[in-house]
Copies of this chain bind each other. A is one copy, B any other.
C-alpha cells in the first residue's frame, strides 16, 4: 500500500481529533473518512488506535511547529509575527465554522490522566513548541529564563483562547489574547534593549 494512504489516514485522524477529540473517534470512522481499507489502518499502525493516535499527535505537532516558523519568517518583525499567530488562528477558526483549532489540546486534556503513551506524545509536542518559541525569543536578545516564560505565556494564551473561542463561536478571546501576547513580548524586547 502506498504511503499516500498512510498520510491520508494521519490527516483524517488529525482532523477528527481537532473536531471531536480522541475518545469519540473510532477506527471505522477514520477508515471511512480517509477512504482507506480498514485493514490498512492496522497495517500502518499495528498498535491500533493508540498507535495511530500517538503518530497523529507527533505528526500534527511538527506540522504546527513548521507553520509557526513559516509565519515568523514571513513577518517583518517579531511583534508582527506574534500578532499573526493569533489573527491567523482566528481566521482559520472562522473559515472552518469554529472547528479547527489546536490538533493536540483536546486529546491532551482527554488522555492526560488516562493514557500514559498518548500523554507522553502530547508532552513531546508541547515541549518542542515551548523550546522552539523560547529559542526564537532568545534570538532577539531576550534572556533564556524570560524567553521561556514568554513562550509559556504566549502558548497559554493561544490554547486558552481556543477553548473560549470554540465554545462561544467568537474570535473575541483570540483578539484579547493576541493583544496581551504582543504587549508581553514588546515589554520583554524593551527590557532586553532590543
Contacts and interface: CB of A to CB of B under 8 A. Distances in A.
Q: How large is the interface on A (under 10, 10 to 19, 20 to 34, 35 or more residues)?
A: 35 or more
Contacts of A70: none
Residue among A23, A160, A177, A184 with the highest chain B CB neighbour number at 10 A: A160
Given A20-B113, A110-B24, A176 B153 contact: yes
A159 B167 contact: no
Contact of A166 (B99, B101, B113): B113
Interface stretch (A4-12, A75-83, A118-126): A118-126
Q: How many copies does the complex hold?
A: 2
A152 interface: yes
A177 B161 contact: no
B156 A112 contact: no
Given A23-B23, A105-B163, A123-B168, A156 B184 contact: no
Interface in A125-155: 126-127, 130, 148-149, 152-153, 155
A39 B113 CA distance: 29
Interface in A153-179: 153, 155-164, 166-169, 172-173, 176-177, 179
Contacts of A99: 112-113
A109 B104 CA distance: 11
Residue among A99, A163, A177 with the highest chain B CB neighbour number at 10 A: A163
Sorted nearest first, the 4 A-B pairs with minimum C-beta distance are A160-B160, A156-B160, A23-B23, A159-B160
Interface of A: 19-24, 97-99, 101, 105-106, 108-110, 112-114, 119, 122-123, 126-127, 130, 148-149, 152-153, 155-164, 166-169, 172-173, 176-177, 179-180, 183-184
